Amino acid sequence: MNKKIKKFIRMFAIYGVLIVTSIMILYPVYFVIIGSLNPGNTLFATSLLPENLSLRHYIYLFTETDYARWYMNTLKIAFWNMIISTFLVLTAAYAFSRFRFPGRRAGLMTILVLQMFPSFMAMIAIYILLLQMNLLDNHWGLILVYAGGSIPFGAWLVKGYFDGMPRSLEEAAKMDGAGHLTIFFRIMMPLSMPILVFIAVMNFIGPWMDFILARLVLRTDTNKTLAVGLFEMVQGLGNTEFTTFAAGAVLVAVPITILFMVLQKPLTEGLRAGANKG
């Protein structure tokens, strides 16, 4: 009987913590969604499910603002950063994992040290470099910054994954006449699909949610991203478009939610594999 009581108390405590945590996480999401459907200009609701819900703010975003342009700008930056940075991370990690060359150890230590510093510490240097390269207020300038910044963490993580893969696969391919590029693209990349998907999704989410660097680099209205555009929508003491901001925030979360739902299995496998093999 004592064992049954202890087991019941333990399960009750576990489920209690899970329920409280879920409420704390889901309530703000529910609050924003309901606020975006509120026909007025306030996020406050007198009941849990207010009456007269409306899509007016969503319609307003696409008809009266440049929200669609911001969305496409952000999608472009996130997509190309995902492609470029994933390729750079995979090639750098493969080189550090499989080859021995002068400066390899120093390079690995540099990558490790760079992870300790927040990205905004380099904002002045980034601004000057982009100014000299005539890439200010340019999406490609922002993409290059994101791609370069993703290499330290991503390369270290993927290197640990490659280190855990047997070298016998590459040796067998070399005996059949395969070169390094063939081995990388036809053997290593297919086998590293879980960590590849994880890195790709993380590199997509980073620019999608970023505000600081986008605010620094992009200046004109036509080049703004979602984060910058939505911030300026509610900037200032006299602005009351908080429900419209909530509608925009809900739509921002849609692609990320779809990505996590579709790629949940490879994402968890990639994160677990990178941690175990690191």
**Amino acid code (one letter) for 204:** F
Rounded distance, CA 148 to CA 166, Å?
29
Task: Please state, in angstroms and as integers, the Cα–Cα distance from residue 171 to each residue in 189, 190, 209, 245, following that order.
Answer: 16, 17, 42, 56
pTM exceeding the 0.85 threshold for the entire prediction: no
pLDDT of residue 278: 44
Contact 25, 218 (CB under 8 A): no
- Give the CA-trace dihedral at 22, 28, 29, 32, to 10 degrees: 170
CA 274 to the chain's CA centroid: 17
pLDDT of residue 272: 62
- Which residues of the chain register pLDDT less than 50? 237, 275-278
